[in-house]
Amino acid sequence: MPNNRSLYEKSQVFIPSGVNSPVRAFGAVGGTPVFMDKGKGPLIWDVNGKCYIDYVCSWGPLILGHANEQVTEAIFEAARNGATFGAPTERELEMAQLLVDSFGSIQKVRLVSSGTEATMSAIRVARGYTGRKKIIKFEGCYHGHVDSLLVKAGSGALTFGQPSSAGIPEAVTADTIVLSFGDFQALEDIFTKHGDELAAVIIEPIAGNMNLIKPPTDYLKLMRKLCDHSGTILIFDEVMTGFRVGLEGAQGLFDVQPDLTTLGKVIGGGLPMGAFGGRADIMDKLAPEGPVYQAGTLSGNPVAVAAGLATLRQVLSPGFFNSVSRFTKKLADGLTQAGKKSGIKLSSQAIGSMFGVYFSETFPQSFSESVSTDQKAFKQFFHEMLEHGVYLAPSSFEAGFTSITHGQEELDKTVFAAQKALKKIAQS
């Protein structure tokens, strides 16, 4: 019988670092990555047969939990009729209409196969539309592994102390300006100085790749105002927050409409899919009508779109979002209480179906505050929780995710595990 350790050792021979995406390697927390065997609802089982309550949910997509019956059925049905045509299908139209109906800021939308493709394409069309080069991003925000955006990025890039990657020529990032998330003055200054050269501002309107961080009040409103004034395209990267923090993403929560929005994760229902969309006059710059080239052999793939539609129909059903958000709030409250009892500095908050756990007295508000939370305590907490059958993201710079299948039993077990874990940390 293969086990986690033997599979990891063998994988390292054939796959760089043994994984197909860096954070999976447990680099930040040490130890052996858990090789997954199967999942059902809120639970996953590793190849050793150990069961865990899953708060990673494949890094966001699985808001219905694992192996949802309607999604599985939709995947089978679509696959039986042909996995791909490279020609338009009716389902793509249905998905596009659903996204346009859900987001007030989206008039036209294109489907792609990943979040990375979505942000890459959004930046390109923004540059094509404005005829300008410079873009602004924010420290600790992650927008996929797009060359020009892999500067001071969050998620795995941050976890491994490589917020900027090798293999990207300086010329490619020369027009990327990086600002501190939440700094009003820096934002105003850069617009004063470079306003008429700025093609786009791209931001995670609620950051989820340096743990979970809310922007300060009116920060996004200021951004909207400055972009309007200088003719700069405002891009909200809602790959993670779309259908996660609310039914209209973070833009709905803060009532700020971007020019372009990128989506991914939940909209693919666990299969590879992303999307970018927004103002029709910008989107119409795309080929073949317009001069900005963008394409994809598997874009709008029938099986992925079927999984996405089966997911979104459930997410949009009455009561769904309140229910998943209520659970997430209870979880954050339970973890906060467990922290208080133990005397360990811990805080936790929920936003929709996402949550943050921070080893600090208050919620971090910026990249530097997130980095200065207690990393050692997190590492210990992660391993104790794993031992007790609770699967958290193996990095303190990731947000947590819940699903509609997480209920009272999972809540009680998780809080109990946290109490035991924190007690042990307090004694060590």
Ligand X SMILES: *Cc1c(COP(=O)(O)O)cnc(C)c1O
Binding site for ligand X (CB under 6 A): 114-116, 119, 142-144, 204, 208-209, 237, 239-240, 264, 274
**Paired residues of 204 in beta bridges:** none
Q: b/e map of 175-214 (b: 16 or more CB within 10 Å)? A: bbbbbebbbeebbeebbeeeeeebbbbbbbbbbbbbbbbb
State the Cα–Cα distance between residues 424 and 165, nearest whole angstrom. 37
Reference 196, options 130, 283, 282; nearest CA is 130
Catalytic-labelled residue, pool 237, 285, 379, 391: 237
What is the smallest separation between the CB atom of 142 and ligand X, expressed in angstroms? 6
Two tokens, residue 63: 């808001």
What is the smallest separation between the CB atom of 117 and ligand X, expressed in angstroms? 7
State the Cα–Cα distance between residues 286 and 110, nearest whole angstrom. 10
Catalytic-labelled residue, pool 265, 285, 379, 391: 265
Catalytic-labelled residue, pool 8, 55, 129, 142: 142
User: Which residue, 23 or 377, is less far from ligand X as judged by CB?
Assistant: 23
Contact partners, residue 400, CB within 8 Å, separation at least 6 = 55, 56, 212, 354, 355, 356, 357, 392, 393
What is the smallest separation between the CB atom of 370 and ligand X, expressed in angstroms? 15
User: Which residue, 204 or 369, is less far from ligand X as judged by CB?
Assistant: 204
State the Cα–Cα distance between residues 304 and 299, nearest whole angstrom. 9
What is the smallest separation between the CB atom of 264 and ligand X, expressed in angstroms? 5
What is the smallest separation between the CB atom of 340 and ligand X, expressed in angstroms? 30
Residue at token pair 């004034």: 229
SS3 state at 85: coil
User: Which residue, 41 or 274, is less far from ligand X as judged by CB?
Assistant: 274
User: Which residue, 339 or 352, is less far from ligand X as judged by CB?
Assistant: 352
Any catalytic annotation for residue 237? Answer: yes
User: Nearest residue by C-beta to ligand X?
Assistant: 115
Total count of residues recorded for the chain: 428
User: Which residue, 200 or 417, is less far from ligand X as judged by CB?
Assistant: 200
Enumerate the active-site residues.
142, 237, 265
